[in-house]
Structure formats: C-alpha cells, structure tokens
Structure 1
Amino acid sequence: MLKHFIFIAFGFVFVGASVLLSSCEKDMAIALNNDNVDALNLASVDSLSVQITNLTLQHIPTSGAGAILLGRYVREGVGSVTVAPYFQVEPEDYTYTDIPEDARFDSVRLVLRRHNQLHVQGDTTQSHTIRVHRITQRLETTTLQAGGINNVEIPFYVQNPAIFGDQSFQVDQTPLGELSYLPAPGRRQSLSIRLDNAFGQDLFDKMQADDSRVISAANFTEYMNGFAVIPDEENTSVIAYNDTIQAEIHYSYIGAGGLREAAQKDLVIRNYNLKYNKYSADRSGTPFQSLTPLNPVAGTQTNGVGVVQAGTGAAVRIDFPALRNFLQTPGIAVNKLELEVEVESNESFMYPLPTGQDAPSLFLANSSGVALNFIRAPFTTDIQRGQYTPANNTGQNARYRFNLIEYVRTINSESNAPSGLVLSLPPASLVGTANSLLIATENNKPKIKLNILYTKFN
C-alpha cells in the first residue's frame, strides 16, 4: 500500500509541474489524489482543443454609468473605438430675479473635470481636439420587452429602461465650440470649452427676461435637448471625466460700490438617466472588419486573436468541443476546473490591463450575443473576476485564471446547452469604462487552456 501511495504522489507532482511549466503543449493538466488509491488510476488527456469566436454583446446600457468618457483610441490590428458623451442639461435653479436689469453677458463655457480614478486608454502624447454640438433630438430611454413572436431575450445586466451605447441621436452639425489640448494623464486636468457667443447671449437674454422657455424643466427641455461632446477623428486616447459637467453662463453688472462684479448661472445634469456614453468602433482594414451583432467572426479568421472591449460589446466566446463528453465519461469526478487566458501586455503603458473589480468576467450568452447569466465565484452569488497574474521579464504573458468548478453543472445541463461561455468585462466596467484586452496567441492559436484535476474510478 505504501508503494502505491508514493507512486500516486509522485505522479501528481510530475503532471502538475509539467503542465504549469510547459508552453501550452497540453490543453489540460490532469491529476488525482485520493486515499483509496487501489481503486484509482492516473490518466492523462490532451485532446481538449479550444476554439474561439469573436462576437458582439447586445444592449450595453451606458446611461447613468457614472464617469463621462471622451475620446478615441486605436489598437493595431483591431481598429479604433470612439466614445462621445451625450447629456441633457437644465438650469441649476429656475430663479433669475438676482440678475440685474443692467447685467451684461460675457461668455458661456462648458467645463469638464477629470475623474478621480484617472481612467485612460490610448496614447496621450498627441494633441487632442474636441467639439461641442447641440443635440437636436430629444434624449429618451428605451425599455426592452422580453418575449414576443421573435422570443426576444434580455441581458441580465439590463434591469431598467436605458440608453444603449450604440444608440444615435441627431446633433446640429455646426459645433458650438471646440478645444485643442494636450492630455495630462498624471494630473486632474479640467477642460473649459468656450461656446458660441450668439448661443450664450440668446440663453442669457431669456433668463434675464424670465422667458417662459427657461422657467421650468418641461419648458426648458423643449427649448434645448442638451449637448454632445465629440472627439476629433485624429484623437488617440479616451479619458474619463466626472459627470458633474456644467455649462457656465458668465455675466457681469455694476455693483453697489460702483465696480463691475462677475456672476454666473449654471446648466447642470439633473436627470442622469439622460446622460450616456455613445460608443462606436471602426474596424475597417482589420480581420475584425465584418464583426457586428449579427455576424460573429471565428478565431480562425483573426489568426487566433480575440478582442474584448467595454462599451462596444466586443467579447470572445470560448468553446472546448470535447469538454462536455469528457465530463460525462463514466467513472469521472472533477475536483477542479480552471480556465487560464493569456493576454497581450506589450502595450500595457497605453492600455493598462483591467484588474481587481474591473478584471474580466465570464458570461453565459446565447447565439445572438445576449448575455443571459454570469459565472459566479465558487460558493457565492457574486460575479467572478479573473485572478490576474502580470507579465514578467522572461517573456511570459499576463494572464487571468477562472475557477469553473460550478460551471460543470451548467455545461452538463441540457437547458444550458445553447449558452456559450463568453469572456467579457463585469457589468460596471462593461458599461462605464473604455477598458480593452487582446487574447495572446501562439502559432495563430489563442493561448487559452483548461486545467482539470479529476478522480477516475475503476
């Protein structure tokens, strides 16, 4: 009995070490450990190949998501992502009796203040240009209806009426103002964009005259729908700003002491459900150019590369075609199931990999790209984030690990058979950041593997 025990212990160490130290020669690490060693066999399986499919998750609700995101970034071989905030504004208060009759309009400025988390994606060494446009179509939320003749399904992360990141609203093509600046990622930079004087004068005159169009929320939103801040096509980074954005209407008047005094009225965001980040992707000239919600792109067409992006919904479906059959093999008891995904990190100074609460997660999505559920952290009801290991100076890629032991029940369930395992970002990061990551490859195959610890009974 002692001899058998030593053999099994040695086999466990050898197989585990060989898998951990090898460069993806095997897709699975398999071992066993059980007191009843006479009834067990040590086995090795290396036939679980991986397939990936790039797809687009549908219905990403970016309204009321906290940070305002603004800019454009480009990733080589993948294309560009542009993020433009749209938002409705109203007067901070509807009282104008404090504006003297002889007051004079001076200027109107839209002010954006850098977000506390200093969220940045892309190259901040180049000059950026942004333009403010007046929205000419009323901002409205959409309510998704489940069911119907097409059996529409709703993503688990859509709980309320929302504006989705791919929606468009009409804007006046003539900008009210523009600003060119050099981003300062190391400090909390504020942007102050001077807007058109004629627009500001008209608004100030209405306030001073107590015009009916500016004395109530209902009337004001009929007069003005809000603003969109649109980045130039040559911009190279996306930066987060606080959602306390405001338009400052500056005026002056002669005070009691005979000197001119400055004052201002502010337009602010009151209804945060009518503030959203509009995402758009341009993948022309890349292997991903045909990627749309209705057209997934197989990893064989992208040289094994998979792309995950916040906002645009770009995600990666991961399939192990032989896994289900393996798990249903008689006499098999799975002790541990771990997914390991290696990601590109050579651009980390411009595209920092998401970690902590922003680390990628795994969803269960249908063939139409609707995320129906998520993979939980073991023995909890919380969404699981990948355990991050950074790249090292020996050339090893950064990687994320996921514990999939509870996924075993899911994959064995007939009711979940149409659902695929999809690598994306957790909901808060998916709808409120510009994070992105690329799956690393080797010989045009994705560097993804499944480590399985199982017991095999005779």
Structure 2
Amino acid sequence: MRKFLYVFLVCFVGLYACVDDNLSLGKSLVDSSFYNVYADTCTVDISTVLLDSIETRGDSICQFGHYKDTLWGEVFATYYAEYTKASFTPNADHAYSLDSLVLRLIPSGHFWGDTLASQRISVYRLKYPIVLDDDSDLYNTTRLQLSDSPLFTFTYTPYPGRKKEVEVRLPDEMGQTLLDDLVAQADYFDTQDGFKKEFPGLALVAESDGSCITGFMVNDTAMSINLHYHEISNTQTEQTLTFAVNMDYAYTGIRYDRSGTPLDGLTSGIENLVHSGDLGCRAYIQGLTGFYNQLEFPFLNNLENAGQIVSVEEATLYLYPLARSYNVVSQLPDELRIYITDANNALEDYVYGSDGVTVQTGNLTVDEVYGKETYYSFDLTEFIRNNFGTSGVKRQKLLMSMTDEASATTFSQVVFTNDPLQERQCRLDVRFKTYNEQ
C-alpha cells in the first residue's frame, strides 16, 4: 500500500503543475472556472496469474527443447504426434528399394534461449495411441508413456528468423520395415485405427543439458515422416510417400520447475494472483506456460478530489518491459489483448479502439537503439470513463493475455516493470477536465 500512496502523491504534484489557463464562463451569472488537467503517473496495480492448463491440440506450430534461467525456471517442451496412414498400391511386376526414412522439420522462427548452442533431441516411440482427455482435448499438461529407449537422437542448431528445412534421418531398419509392410499390404494400413495401434506415434524430447526451445511448423508436409524409395522395373524411379501429422492427435506438452525463481510457489487460478509489489515490482506474461495478468486502478476515484465536477477526457495505459529482459534469448509478443471483466472476473468484452469495432493489440513500440522506450500502449478512455466514480461490485477489472494462438504455440514473454521509484514503469496517463465554482 505504501507504494500506491507514493505514486498517488506524485500524481497530484504533477497534476496541479499541468493545469491549463482557466477558462471563465458566464461570469456575470456564476463565478466559475474550467481547467484541463493532466496526471501522468496514476497507479496501475498489475498482477500475475497462472492458468492451470492450455489447449495445444492441433496447433500449426509445435515446440520442443529445454531451457533454464533465473526468471522463469527450468522448462522442458516435448512434441507428441500421431501420424496418418498413407495410401500405397504396390505393382507386382516391380521391385522396391529403400533410400531413406526422414523426419522433415521447418523452423517457425520462434525461439527461447541460446540459439548459438547445438541442441540434442531424442525421438521416442509412443507406447500407446494418443487418447483425448475427458473433455476431448489435449493440453500442455497432458502426459503420455514413451518407449524405454529412444529410436534415435539428433543434433541441430537453431537460427533465429531462419526457416530453412531440416531433414533428420530415421533408422534404416524402421524405414525398411515400413516399406516391406507396405509392399506386403499389411492389414494395419487398412484403417487409421489399425495404423496407430501398430505405430502409435513419436515424441520429440530434449536432453536436460539443452539451452534453447525452438518452434517448428506443423502441416501436411512439415513435421512429416517421408519414406524415400526407388520403384524398380526396366528403370528406377525415385518415389516419396508422406506420413503427415494427424493434427487431431498431436500437441505440445510442458514440464517445468520454478524452484528458486520469483515465480516459485505461484499456484494456478485467478484467486491466487500475485501483485507486482510481491514480485519485486514485476509482473509476468508468457505463452505455453500459462502466465497472464490482471490490471486494476485502485486510486482512480481520488481524481474526484481535483474539482467539484471531474470528467475524463483521455486515458492511455503504458506498459514497459524490463530492460534487457528480451531479444537476446527471448521474444516479445507482437500483440497483447485486454479483456474487460466484472468484479467476479467473468469476461464481458474486449477493449476496442476508438472506432468501437477494432480490438486493440497493444501498439508495441520498440526502441531498437537503447531499449529504454520499448512499451505497449492501450487507449483506455472508455473503460476509465465507465469506471470512474464506481466501487465494489460495480467496478470492472481488466485481464491481459497474448493472443490465443501465441499463447498456445510460443514462449513469447514479457516481464513488466512496475517500480514507482523508476522513471519507466507501468502507468496510466489521464487527461481530465475539472469544474469549480469560485
């Protein structure tokens, strides 16, 4: 509470130093004045909240790897995927020869960690076919059983922003068995259920000494298993059979350990939110791990003390990332969303732009040179007008998160700084008009 009171005092020191020349109206009738007033440091109470799980089934971007730091802790990302059967009709007059069986990877451009270090990934066979949870979905918290030892292990080096294809060769024995069964027209190729019982799928698991988590595309050709072979008759013809990910049964799973970090002990549920004042004047938001924010303005009604009548003309929210907490090993989300909730945290609507139709996305401004003037901003004029003078169950709140897609497919993140003693902090700038009778 001391922090909020300090900021409020600063607010009103600036408030009365920023008053326009008074505009006297109707002096012959009523001795009165109007003032345009500006307060640039109104307190923002920003809290960190943790979701219990995130739906990641069927996403077009997957993540796998391992990363550990002092802010977020240790995180493992694993991709689990069932594959679709492929159609193949052998020619009895032809012979078939294996060339290779490869896993085709296309980076999405997303990363978290040291992109200069090589990463080792082990590929395991799933013990059983993937089964949807009770509510017919798959989440970042869903766990599956894997084979006792990996089919193979590969090494790759992430390249930020680079989407060059990577081909990882699977064991030839696996490829030869697959080709032989196709030529023999094994029964398990007749249906998808039969195919996944024979081949439940793969899991891509990072080794614990890895230092980066990387995003990869998932579609009909990306993350696919490709069987390259020759069809031999009078001539040899190169052929490829593609086994695509069955996206209805594929997802990114997350394991984490936050011991020794500022987030250690944080439990899921909005009732367990933690105010920035209890997190070293910081607030956290991150995709895939489920962190998001709640925002309130506890001293908004104190602006009523500025005059007999006070009307809000404009209100802008500024949110500053912690300096040097991004770009080197992590990525800021391009967009953020703010939702309006009632006093019981039930969602009511988005925060729209001035046209009343376009959903605001945070208007990210990046200071490429010094990094000091990097911030997100939202026009909260209507929200502040609607809540100015309200309290209790009538006072609305705000929830802030990344887009649904980014939350479920990336580790993009922001550590917001909210220290009232620092120059750049989360703040609400309010321009308002006051009326006073002389």
Shorter-chain TM-score bucket reads: 0.7 to 0.9
Change in 2 beyond 3 A, CA 1:341/1:186? closer
46 and 387 in structure 1: CA distance in 2 versus 1, 3 angstrom threshold: closer
Letter aligned with residue 66 of structure 1: S
Does 133-142 or 232-241 show the bigger shift? 133-142
Task: Quote the residue 1:351 is aligned against.
Answer: 330
Please report how far the alpha carbon of residue 201 of structure 1 lies from its aligned counterpart in structure 2 after TM superposition.
3.5
Q: Which has the higher strand share?
A: 2
Whole-angstrom CA distance in 2 between matches of 1:26 and 1:90: 63
Shift of 1:106: 4.7
Equivalent in the alignment of 2:105 = 112
- Separation in structure 2 between the aligned mates of residue 455 and residue 417 of structure 1, nearest angstrom: 23
Whole-Å separation in 2 of the counterparts to 1:177 and 1:48: 57
8 Å CA contact 2:117, 2:157 repeated in 1? yes
Matched with 2:117 is 126
User: What is the identity, as a one-letter code, of the residue corresponding to 1:205?
Assistant: D
Q: What SS does the corresponding residue of 1:206 show, helix, strand or coil?
A: helix
User: What CA distance in whole angstroms lies between the structure 2 residues aligned with 1:422 and 1:185?
Assistant: 31
Which residue in 2 is equivalent to 1:8? none
Contact 2:36–2:432 (Cα < 8 Å) also in 1: no
Counterpart of 1:180 in structure 2 is 155
Q: Distance in 1 between matches of 2:92 and 2:418?
A: 64
- Give the match for residue 357 of structure 2: 381
Instruction: Choose from 73, 76, 81 the match for 1:79.
Output: 73
CA contact (8 A) 1:94 1:216 kept: no
Encode CA deviations 1:14-54: one digit per residue, 9 max, x unaligned.
xxxxxxxxx99845875677966644246676895333321
CA distance in 1, matches of 2:412, 2:224: 26
- CA offsets per residue over residues 95-132 of structure 1, 9 Å max, x none? 332486642445422111233xx233322111111122
Give me the CA root mean square deviation: 3.6
Match for residue 240 of structure 2? 264
Alignment partner of 1:171 is 2:146: yes
User: What's the TM-score once normalised by structure 2's chain length?
Assistant: 0.80
Sort the Cα spacing of 1:364 and 1:282 in 2 relative to 1 into closer, same or farther, 3 A. Answer: farther
* Aligned residue runs from structure 1 range 204-243, under 5 A: 204-243=179-218
- Indicate how the Cα distance of structure 1 residues 35 and 140 shifts in structure 2: closer, same or farther if over 3 A, else same: farther
1:296 pairs with 2:273: yes
1:182 CA displacement? 2.1
The amino acid across from 1:436 in the alignment is Q
Task: Tell me whether 124-133 or 100-109 shows the greater mean CA deviation.
Answer: 100-109
Partner of 2:60: 66
SS of equivalent residue, structure 2 residue 320: strand
Change (3 A) 1:46 1:107: closer
Deviation, structure 1 residue 208: 1.6
SS across alignment from 2:197: helix
Structure 1 pair 337–443 and aligned structure 2 pair: CA distance change class (3 A): closer
For these two proteins, the number of residue pairs brought into alignment is 411
Residues in 2 aligned to 1:293 and 1:86: alpha-carbon distance in whole angstroms: 24
Alpha-carbon distance in structure 2 between the residues aligned to 1:268 and 1:127: 27
Q: Which has the larger displacement, 366-375 or 226-235? A: 366-375
Q: What secondary structure sits across from 2:328 in the alignment?
A: coil
Secondary structure of the 1:379 match is: coil
Rate the CA distance shift 1:66–1:394 in 2: closer, same or farther, 3 A. closer
Q: Report if the CA contact (8 A) 2:39-2:430 is conserved.
A: no
Instruction: Specify whether residues 125 and 140 from structure 1 end up closer, same or farther in structure 2 by C-alpha distance, changes over 3 A only.
Output: same
Q: Would you say the 8 A contact 1:56–1:369 is kept in 2?
A: no
Q: Give the secondary-structure state (helix, strand or coil) at the position aligned to 2:234.
A: coil
Are the structure 2 counterparts of residues 223 and 381 from structure 1 closer, same or farther at C-alpha, using a change threshold of 3 Å?
farther
Residues 373 and 131 of structure 1: is their aligned pair in 2 closer, same or farther, counting only changes over 3 Å?
farther
* 2:320 corresponds to: 342
Q: Residues of 1 paired with 2:91 and 2:392: CA distance? A: 66
Q: Conserved in 2, the CA contact under 8 Å of 1:309 and 1:430?
A: yes
Shift of 1:348: 2.0
How much has 1:293 moved relative to structure 2?
A: 1.1
For the residue of structure 2 that corresponds to 1:292, the secondary structure is: coil
The 3 A distance-change label for structure 1 pair 204 and 411 is farther
Equivalence for 1:53? 47
Structure 1 position 436 matched with structure 2 position 429: no
Q: Does 1:194 pair with 2:169?
A: yes
Residues 223-253 of structure 1, C-alpha deviations (whole Å, 9 max, x = no match): 3332222222222223332212211223345
- For 1:205 and 1:330, how far apart are their aligned partners in 2? 87
> Could you say if the C-alpha distance between residues 100 and 193 of structure 1 is closer, same or farther in structure 2, counting changes exceeding 3 Å?
farther
> Which segment is superposed worse, 68-77 or 207-216?
68-77
State the distance in 1 between where 2:173 and 2:115 align.
Answer: 33
Comparing 51-60 with 358-367, which one deviates more in the overlay? 358-367
Q: Does structure 1 conserve the Cα–Cα contact (< 8 Å) formed by 2:282 and 2:419?
A: no
Unaligned regions of 5+ residues in structure 2, if any? 1-6, 26-31
**What secondary structure, in the 3-state scheme, does the structure 2 residue paired with 1:284 have?**
coil
Aligned in 2, Cα 1:415/1:194: closer, same or farther, shift over 3 Å? farther
Change (3 A) 1:222 1:106: same
Q: Among the aligned pairs, what percent are the same residue?
A: 20
**1:318 paired residue among 285, 288, 295:** 295
How many Å apart are 1:442 and its aligned residue?
Answer: 3.8
Structure 1 position 449, deviation (Å): 0.8
Q: CA deviation at 1:177?
A: 1.8
Residue type at the aligned position of 2:416 = I
Deviation, structure 1 residue 198: 4.2
Check whether the contact 1:178–1:193 (CA below 8 A) recurs between aligned residues. no
Deviations 1:414-435 (A, max 9, x none): 8975864233212232223221
**8 Å contact kept, 1:335–1:454:** yes
1:186 deviates by 5.6
Give the Cα separation in 1 of the matches to 2:33 and 2:91. Answer: 89
* Cα distance in structure 2, aligned partners of 1:314 and 1:96: 49
SS at match of 1:388: coil
Paired residue for 1:448? 426
Deviation at 1:457, TM superposition (A): 2.5
**Does the 8 Å contact 1:365/1:422 carry over to 2?**
yes
Letter in 2 for 1:77: L
SS at match of 2:381: coil
